[in-house]
Chains A and B, each alone.
Chain A
Amino acid sequence: MSEENRSQVLKKFNDYAGKILNPSVENVKSADCRVVGYFCSFIPEELFIAAGLLPFRMRGTGSETTERADEYFTSCNCSFPRHCFNQALTGEFTFLDGLVVGTSCDATRYIYDNWKSSPIKTPFIYLLGYPHVSGVAMANYYRAELAKLKTALEEQFGARITDEKLRSAITLCNETRELQRQLYEMRKSASPPITGSEMVSVMVAGVSMPKDEYNADLKQLIEELEALPATNSTYAARLMVVGSCGDDDILSRLAEEQGALVVTDHTCFGGKLKYGAVDGAASDPLQALAEYQILTRPFCAKVGGAYQLRAKVILDAAKEFGVDGVLGQRLGCCDTWGGELYALKEDLKGAGIPSLMIEREYVPDSEGQLATRVQAFIETVRR
């Protein structure tokens, strides 16, 4: 979308994705609603929404240094938690009334202990056990863990999370996923109406503001994009971005600055979130949430027994979106994604899809080298 025709909604999403505290969160706070931060995507937002809380997905946006976090984490830890924690230490997350940390990757898990012992005064800090195998017994275990979190939220915030409220929250979040899928579908066309860089903002904003407001904005955006003439078909290559985090547009932006177009992704803040739906009619909504995360969407790269599914989802998407190549990104010291991308590179090669796997830092010292590698890759896959 050209700058002059740029949707106001898209501008809003871009604004929200580019900072931590946004006007919607401020509105919620001024209305006496509480905000709970959470790491990572497998923690069901539905539980917070049913408790009348605003879930806020944690990220380190705006961070320029890890100076203060370095006292806690060394450079042998992934830079995502280091930047997130640095932002917390500098007061960027003082608006949080609670924080839930999941036992996803080790680096993120260790935020829990460090946050607890730090001067950051967050009234509620909770560690949620998350299984690392996709299986029925694990879904049942996760259901029990979610039940404990539900009780803790009720006690801390004086809320009562009924099945009815949970079902209502599930419906709301399923609608979000459906709308996001519609948006992704539009990117399959020969002339996608939205860039990969813009799409990052759309997805990041979705985990940073109230869902009903976001859904209304998404509907408006879809309408606007549907009305646009097809003009975006002169790109050098159609690309897919795969990897951890994905709460910034660095890779998409660099690729698009070189004339390519990112048409889909499979990242923790991006396309993974729109996958499938929670069974809103289930007699036990907590069980439905657990099964969705563990059985339907085991997309955390640390979950064993699910790599083949993850690879299939990526390969299918590459095919459906007519991708010429895949850009893989992982952060330094991330052992989990090191293995995931190593395996994925082989599978993509087997499927005849070129790929470039990049190690970067959450806040790169310089984008020059990254840009060079991306540019060289585009030259090898250009149409």
Chain B
Amino acid sequence: MTDQEIINALTAEGNEYFKALTIAGVNDNARMGRPFIIVSDDALPEIPVAMDISCSIMTVAGAMGTVGPGAAERIDKATEMGVENRLCASVKMGAYFLKAGILPVPDMVITTNSPCDAVDMLGQMMDNYPPWAKVPKFRLDAPHGQTDEDFVYFGAQLKEMVQAIEKATGKKLTMERFVEVAEESNRQASLIMDFQELTRAVPCPVDPDMARVGWELARWVAATDPSVFPKATGWLERLVDVTERKVKAKTGMDGVQEKIRFLWYDVSPSWGSKLFPRLRSELGAVCMKTYYSFHNYIPIDTTSMDSMLASVAKKYLMGTPMTRQAMHTADVFCDDIVRICKEDKCDAMIMPCHIGHRDTNAYQKLARDTCRANGIPFFFLGCDVWDERYMPADVVFDRLKTFFQSTGLA
């Protein structure tokens, strides 16, 4: 296989796995025979994997519902519920799936206030959903602080959560298995960091968005099916191997004459396949990072059960995309912009400002000021990353093209 064929195979493999995250996948997960939990947001996969439990994520199922045939109609139906028109469509869709009664009854429900008010609201809807009245519930309070006290506070809640899962499902979390999973998780995190480092080469060897694919495989898909967890490690190893070879050969992305590197500081849009390849091929503009392809190495400390839970807590609070950006003060948000632009040699920063993201909409001036102070050309877009009708991919392309041309980058 050529390097490009390997990359294509990895992409195809990832897309196949992602079917487990759709609403159909949620129903399949419930039939796997494992205890089945529905969570409002990120599933902290180390715990369900170590306990051999299947976890489906409402916001992810909601986001997957905004793509594919009939997506616009589904978004409209979700909007018609009347919760809040400008509510993030991934959450709106999750609420719609819930209220439409098309979800299986889980063995347990876990909700959290993280990363935003919208997910907090969805979690409360799940907690108070009448058909799930008898389903055991656990709610996590993610703090906004970044101190060790905050991590210990959240870690203590994880300990209680594990006890609640054990009670609800009969499954046990053993130290031995948790250490095994934590070590594998550290290995995956390390591979993602290696990939991230390799993609900083000029020209960029592989689409940096593959970090998002790997991360979602190792976390979201593995949470739905623990057997995928080790396979995700293998997937990441193959990705790092091929990227290493391309860096050594100094070959860039297939068919791309790299001219511009930019940061897309938000979620990668569900219509991104209509935008990013076109930017690469027509303008040589490579998206170096999005929220989900930017990662920090926060290892799990396997010394003791408490240290593992506290470090899983830290990893969740400081390492989970969106939680990192939306839960903390603007210092984290703005420092990351500067760091990414410097490390990834970005020529520009694009602020998509998804309409449902209250954080980016409230931080756009701070981001702009930060970029200006650091000599980074800044562009504010104002789009909907789930509903392309709000600002079609073609329009986004044209606006970015104009911006790149006006700033002399294209």
Residues of A within 8 A of B (CB): 71-74, 76-78, 81, 103, 105-107, 109-110, 112-114, 117, 127, 129, 131-133, 135, 137-138, 141, 144, 302, 304-305, 307-308, 330, 332-336, 338-340, 342-343, 357, 359
A77 pairs with B113, CB closer than 8 A: no
B84 pairs with A338, CB closer than 8 A: yes
What's the Cα separation between A144 and B153 when bound, in Å?
11
A-B CB contacts (within 8 Å), total count: 146
Closest-by-CB residue of A relative to B362 is: A110
What's the Cα separation between A359 and B150 when bound, in Å?
35
Q: Which of A73, A112, A307, A334 is close to B84, meaning CB atoms less than 8 Å apart? A: A334
Chain A residues positioned under 8 Å from B88 (CB to CB): 335
A-B residue pairs in contact (CB < 8 Å), sample of 6: A106-B362, A129-B150, A144-B149, A308-B128, A333-B84, A333-B358
B127 pairs with A304, CB closer than 8 A: yes
B365 pairs with A304, CB closer than 8 A: no
Chain B residues positioned under 8 Å from A305 (CB to CB): 127, 139
Closest 6 CB pairs of A and B: A338-B84, A339-B121, A110-B362, A113-B330, A132-B113, A133-B141
Q: Which of B125, B128, B153, B362 is close to A77, meaning CB atoms less than 8 Å apart? A: B362
Closest-by-CB residue of A relative to B145 is: A129
Closest-by-CB residue of A relative to B116 is: A106
Chain A residues positioned under 8 Å from B139 (CB to CB): 133, 304-305
How close is A45's CB to chain B, nearest CB, in angstroms?
22
Chain A residues positioned under 8 Å from B81 (CB to CB): 342
Chain A residues positioned under 8 Å from B84 (CB to CB): 330, 332-335, 338-339, 359
Known interface pairs A71-B365, A77-B361; A138-B141 also in contact (CB < 8 Å): yes
Known interface pairs A106-B359, A114-B366, A117-B366; A336-B330 also in contact (CB < 8 Å): no
A343 pairs with B365, CB closer than 8 A: no
Q: Which of A74, A103, A109, A113 is close to B361, meaning CB atoms less than 8 Å apart? A: A74
Chain A residues positioned under 8 Å from B355 (CB to CB): 76
- What 0/1 readout, one digit per residue, does chain B (343-378) give for beta carbons within 8 Å of chain A? 000000000010111110111111001000000000
B121 pairs with A110, CB closer than 8 A: no
Chain A residues positioned under 8 Å from B366 (CB to CB): 72, 113-114, 117
How close is A100's CB to chain B, nearest CB, in angstroms?
14
Closest-by-CB residue of A relative to B382 is: A74
B361 pairs with A73, CB closer than 8 A: yes
Question: Is B6 in the interface zone, CB < 8 Å from A?
Answer: no
Q: Which of A76, A81, A343 is close to B353, meaning CB atoms less than 8 Å apart? A: A76
Residues of B within 8 A of A (CB): 81-88, 91, 95, 111, 113, 116-118, 120-125, 127-128, 139-145, 149-150, 153, 156-157, 160, 326, 329-331, 353, 355-359, 361-366, 369, 382
What's the Cα separation between A340 and B143 when bound, in Å?
21
A112 pairs with B329, CB closer than 8 A: yes
Closest-by-CB residue of B relative to A131 is: B141
What's the Cα separation between A340 and B82 when bound, in Å?
12
Chain B residues positioned under 8 Å from A302 (CB to CB): 113, 117, 120-121
What's the Cα separation between A109 and B115 when bound, in Å?
13
Q: Which of B111, B118, B160, B329 is close to A304, meaning CB atoms less than 8 Å apart? A: B111
Chain B residues positioned under 8 Å from A77 (CB to CB): 358, 361-362
Known interface pairs A73-B362, A107-B362; A137-B117 also in contact (CB < 8 Å): no
B83 pairs with A127, CB closer than 8 A: no
A307 pairs with B128, CB closer than 8 A: yes
What's the Cα separation between A103 and B331 when bound, in Å?
16
B87 pairs with A335, CB closer than 8 A: yes
What's the Cα separation between A73 and B113 when bound, in Å?
22
Q: Which of A133, A307, A332 is close to B140, meaning CB atoms less than 8 Å apart? A: A133
Chain A residues positioned under 8 Å from B150 (CB to CB): 129
A105 pairs with B117, CB closer than 8 A: yes
Instruction: Add 10 more A-B contacts to A78-B358, A133-B140, A343-B124 (CB < 8 A).
Output: A106-B359, A106-B362, A129-B143, A129-B145, A133-B113, A137-B157, A141-B143, A304-B127, A342-B81, A359-B85
How close is A212's CB to chain B, nearest CB, in angstroms?
34
How close is B71's CB to chain A, nearest CB, in angstroms?
21
B116 pairs with A335, CB closer than 8 A: yes
Chain A residues positioned under 8 Å from B121 (CB to CB): 302, 335-336, 338-340
B128 pairs with A335, CB closer than 8 A: no
Q: Which of A112, A117, A132 is close to B369, meaning CB atoms less than 8 Å apart? A: A117
Chain A residues positioned under 8 Å from B123 (CB to CB): 304
Known interface pairs A133-B140, A141-B143; A339-B382 also in contact (CB < 8 Å): no
What's the Cα separation between A179 and B358 when bound, in Å?
38
Closest-by-CB residue of A relative to B149 is: A144
What's the Cα separation between A81 and B117 when bound, in Å?
15
Tell me which of B95, B144, B156 has the highest count of chain A C-beta atoms within 10 A of its own C-beta.
B144
What's the Cα separation between A137 and B143 when bound, in Å?
12
A132 pairs with B362, CB closer than 8 A: no
What's the Cα separation between A333 and B83 when bound, in Å?
10
Chain B residues positioned under 8 Å from A359 (CB to CB): 84-85
Closest-by-CB residue of A relative to B380 is: A74
Chain B residues positioned under 8 Å from A129 (CB to CB): 143-145, 150
A106 pairs with B117, CB closer than 8 A: yes
What's the Cα separation between A324 and B124 when bound, in Å?
27
Chain A residues positioned under 8 Å from B331 (CB to CB): 113
Closest-by-CB residue of A relative to B384 is: A76
What's the Cα separation between A219 and B393 when bound, in Å?
63
B329 pairs with A127, CB closer than 8 A: yes
What's the Cα separation between A330 and B82 when bound, in Å?
12
Tell me which of B116, B120, B329, B363 has the highest count of chain A C-beta atoms within 10 A of its own C-beta.
B120
What's the Cα separation between A72 and B127 when bound, in Å?
34
Chain A residues positioned under 8 Å from B111 (CB to CB): 304
A110 pairs with B359, CB closer than 8 A: yes
How close is A67's CB to chain B, nearest CB, in angstroms?
14
Tell me which of A107, A113, A114, A304 has the highest count of chain B C-beta atoms within 10 A of its own C-beta.
A304
